[in-house]
Chain A
Amino acid sequence: MSQSTNQLINYTLHLADNALILGQRNAEWTGHGPVLEQDIAISNIALDLVGQARNFYQYAAQLMNESIDKAGSQQHTEDSLAFLRDSGDYKNCLLVELEKGDWAKTVLRQFFFSNYQFFLYQVMQEKKDRTLAAVAEKSLKEVTYHLRWSAEWVIRLGDGTPESRRRITNALNDCWPYTGELTTNAAYETNLAQENIAVDLGSIKASWINKTMEVLGTAGLQLPVNTWMQTGGKEGRHTEHLGYVLAEMQYLQRTYPGVEW
């Protein structure tokens, strides 16, 4: 396998893992949302994210199957990539694997992530890899809904009651140290950006920060100071939380391999 193909596979898996893990976390709210309409909203967002993940996994599986030595090796599928990899193989950002916490943490995390996806996909749809560009173009419209919905919630809670404000402030202190990865390139991103395939995250960093400051400012919230940005997720070094997500998501396929209903 060429170095370049290997990086494209890693990049595609990274994009897929981000969407799948956050989709899985959001789906924990299904049936438990604070009110029916918002339960439906967060479940819809989860569904959109899982759909995006499927598109990326299908592409990653295709790339992997094309590049492996066919003799005797098992074919990859979107399902094997989602259900049969271990946490060290996952390349999602740390932010998406954190526990769902309360509603404030969930909507704030969603805002940070949708804000990232919004600018990422805008640039990606113009990039050279036609499959990644098509998935970005398709997903951008959905992400726009996610971004507006989550930003409105951040403002509503920040500018709401003392209780909502206390909760969103706690959420901000919890989540902020995990946002650095959203705008910091992993090695495969830096290399693929030079080939005009990956989005250079440096190019969207200013837009991400501006939008973040605009929304937090409207919500009356202030950024924590002197924080250390956590990294490692994109290279497979995860927090203790990812294992729990995978255990719940994968136990059925691992207990009954190939089971369908």
Chain B
Amino acid sequence: METVKQQILSLLEQVTDPELPVLSVIDLGIVRDVIAGEKETEIIITPTYSGCPAMDVISMQIRMVLLEHGYKNVKISTCLSPAWTTDSMSEAAKQKLRAYGIAPPNPLHSVCDVQLFAEQEAVQCPHCQSYHTVLVSQFGSTACKALYKCRQCMEPFDYFKCH
């Protein structure tokens, strides 16, 4: 029998990141817990980046979806620690990202270190699958992405950087 918590979790699969419409908040791994109380439902989420402007929109959408399904008293709290990492992203999520044209974070978790002008681990082009790619900038169209260019098919692409 489906518990209330599982029901809510499956509803949250409808809530997507406005900047990555192929991923739900469950795919991204930003839902930390759901506490289904008698009077109130609490959703605990964690931000991807401190300044991610999508978080406010996501909170609002969570409220809307739950309200549509009869959950009136919804409290959304934020939990910062342990900090979100791209490891929280599911394998299915990474496949969806690639199909959408964004290179998913590399499986070997290589976050930025302070070593200067360091060689980056090769990132696979989501269009032609070549590894012959080059970093253009560590900062991309949103806080979570870096800009890359493929030297094989010459297409630029976004890389969801390890975090």
What B residues does A211 contact at CB under 8 A?
A: 114
A52 CA / B47 CA spacing, docked (Å): 11
Q: Assess whether A137 is interfacial by the CB under 8 Å rule.
A: yes
Q: Which residues of B contact A43 (CB under 8 A)?
A: 139
Binding stretch for chain A, among B11-19, B31-39, B48-56: B48-56
Residues on B with C-beta less than 8 A from A47 are: 49, 51, 53, 143
Cβ A41 vs Cβ B141 within 8 A: no
The interface-forming segment of B1-9, B20-28, B75-83, B98-106 is: B75-83
CB-CB contacts below 8 Å: B135-160 with A: 136-141, 143, 147
Is A148's CB under 8 angstroms from B112's CB?
Answer: yes
Known: A47-B143, A137-B80. A155 touches B112 (CB 8 A): no
Q: List the B side residues contacting A182 at CB < 8 Å.
A: none
Shortest Cβ distance from B147 into chain A, in angstroms? 6
A151 / chain B contacts, CB cutoff of 8 Å: 114, 116
Question: In the complex where A134-B81, A139-B50 touch, is A144 in contact with B136 (Cβ < 8 A)?
Answer: no
Residue total for A at the interface (Cβ-Cβ under 8 A)? 38
Q: Which of A37, A45, A48 contacts B136 (CB 8 A)?
A: A37
Within 8 A of B (CB), among A1-52: 37-38, 40-41, 43-45, 47-52
User: A55 vs B55: C-alpha distance in the bound complex, in angstroms?
Assistant: 13
Alpha-carbon separation in the docked complex, A211 to B83 (Å): 26
Interface string of B107-119 (1 = CB under 8 A from A): 0000111111110
**Bound state CA distance, A211 and B47, in angstroms?**
30
B107 CB, nearest partner CB in chain A, Å: 18
Whether B163 sits at the interface, judged by CB under 8 Å, is yes
Which residues of A sit under 8 angstroms from B116, Cβ to Cβ? 148, 151-152, 155, 215, 218
Q: What 1/0 mask marks residues of chain B from 52 to 96 whose CB sits below 8 Å from any chain A CB?
A: 110000000000000000000000000011111000000000000
Residue of chain B at shortest CB distance from A44: B139
Contact of A48 among B51, B81, B141 (CB under 8 A): B51
Residues in B neighbouring A118, C-beta threshold 8 A? 114
B contact residues around A37 at 8 Å (CB): 136-137, 139, 147
* A50-73, CB < 8 A from B: 50-52, 54-55
> Roughly how many angstroms separate A43 CA and B118 CA in the complex, as a whole number?
23
A-B contact pairs, 17 of them (CB 8 A): A37-B136, A41-B137, A41-B138, A41-B139, A47-B143, A48-B49, A48-B51, A50-B51, A54-B51, A134-B81, A138-B81, A138-B84, A141-B111, A141-B112, A142-B49, A145-B112, A211-B114
Binding site for B on A (CB under 8 A): 37-38, 40-41, 43-45, 47-52, 54-55, 118, 130-131, 133-135, 137-142, 144-145, 147-149, 151-152, 155, 211, 215, 218
Additional A-B contact list (20), CB under 8 Å, known A38-B137, A55-B50, A141-B83: A37-B147, A40-B137, A48-B51, A131-B80, A133-B81, A135-B80, A137-B80, A137-B83, A138-B47, A138-B80, A140-B83, A142-B49, A142-B51, A144-B112, A145-B112, A148-B113, A148-B114, A148-B118, A149-B138, A149-B139
